[in-house]
Amino acid sequence: MSLLIKDESPEKLIGEDGKRLDGRDLNELRPIKMEVGVIPNADGSAYIEWGGNKIYAAVYGPREVHPRHDARPDRGILRTFYRMTTFSVSERKRPAPGRREKEISMVIKNAIEPVLFLELYPDSVIEVFIEVISADGGTRCACTAVAILALADAGIPMKGLITAVAAGKVDGKLIIDCSGDEDKSGEADLPCAISWYNNQIALLQFDGIMDLEEFDKSIDQIIEALEKIRKLQEEALKKRYIDVRDHLKNYKPKVVTTNNIEEKIDSNNQQNQNGGDQRE
Ligand code: CDP
C-alpha cells in the first residue's frame, strides 16, 4: 500500500531506470484524445483528454456584444473564459475566478486572436468558454489546443491552427509535457504555443531556471512534440467532417417542385380566407 498522501510532493521525479513517475521517457507525451462537436447547444465545441486533464471548450457567436460599448465597428472581439471546476484538483478550488484563471484566459486569447479573421465580424463578439473538469499540469496548453478546435468547429475563419505544450526540467533533466507533480516540484516549466500559418511563437511563458543551452534544447523538443499534437488536432477535425458527411448521406431533402409550391399557396390562401370568414 502506498503511503504517499495525494498532495505530498514526491522526492524524486525520475527513477533509477531513467523513467518518470508515470512511466514515461523524458521526451514522451502523455496520451492525448480529442473530439470535435461534443456540445450540441454551442455553435462550436471540442473536448480534450490529455493525461489527467479533461477539458471542454464551447464557442458562442459571432453574436451581439454586451455591453454595447465594448463593440468595435471595424472588427469583432474575442473573449476567452478559462475556468477550473471546484472538483478539478485534489484540494477544492474556490468557485470564483481567481488571478490565475484571469491570466490564463488572457494568454489563451492572446495566442489565438491573431489567427482569426475578426475583421469579418464588426460589432460582434465570439466567446470561448473553456471548462477544466480535471487538471493535471499543462492545462493552459491543452486549453489552447482545444479552444482552437472549438473555433474551427464553429466555422470561424482562421489562418491556421495553434498547438501548445510545456517543456520542463526535473531532477536536472529536460522533459516534455509536464504532469501536475512535475509542474509543482520541478525546476522549470516552459509552456509554448506555435501558430502554424506563419510558424511563429504564439505563447511563451517561463517559470524556473534553465541555462541558454537547456532553453534551446527545450524549444527543439517542444517543436517536435507540437508536430505530433498538431496531427491529432487535424485528425479530430477531419473526423468531425467525415461524421457530418455520413450523417448527411441518410438525409433525404424533400423535393419541392413549382407545382407543389402553387398547391401550397392555394391551400394557405384557402385557410386564411376561412379563418377570416370565421372572424367576420
Ligand atoms: O495548468 P498549467 O500548468 O497551465 O498552470 P499552472 O498554474 O502551472 O498549474 C499547474 C497545475 O497545478 C495545474 O494543471 C493543476 O494540476 C495544479 N493546480 C492545482 O492543483 N490547484 C490550483 N488551484 C491550480 C492549479
What's the 197 CA to ligand 1 centre distance in angstroms?
Answer: 29
What's the 129 CA to ligand 1 centre distance in angstroms?
Answer: 18
pTM equals: 0.87
What's the 8 CA to ligand 1 centre distance in angstroms?
Answer: 15
Residue 271, domain member (yes or no): yes
pLDDT (tens, 9 = 90+) of the chain, 280 residues, equals 444 455 566 778 999 999 999 999 999 999 999 999 999 999 999 999 999 999 999 999 999 999 999 999 999 999 999 999 999 999 999 999 999 999 999 999 999 999 999 999 999 999 999 999 999 999 999 999 999 999 999 999 999 999 999 999 999 999 999 999 999 999 999 999 999 999 999 999 999 999 999 999 999 999 999 999 999 999 999 999 888 778 787 777 766 666 666 777 777 777 777 765 555 4
Residue 9, domain member (yes or no): no
Per the document, the length of the chain is 280
Residue 11, domain member (yes or no): no
Residue list, ligand 1 pocket, CB within 6 Å = 89, 93, 100, 135-140, 180, 183, 189, 191
Q: What total number of domains does the chain contain?
A: 1
Range of the domain at 170: 32-279
Q: End-to-end alpha-carbon separation of the chain, Å? A: 86
Residue 169, domain member (yes or no): yes
Residue 49, domain member (yes or no): yes
Give pLDDT, residue 276: 55
Query: In this structure, are residues 50 and 64 in contact, taking their beta carbons and an 8 Å threshold?
Result: no
Give pLDDT, residue 280: 44
Closest residue by Cα to atom 9, ligand 1, is 137
Residue 216, domain member (yes or no): yes
What's the 88 CA to ligand 1 centre distance in angstroms?
Answer: 10
Residue 15, domain member (yes or no): no
Give pLDDT, residue 4: 47
Give pLDDT, residue 246: 81
CATH of residue 90: 3.30.230.70
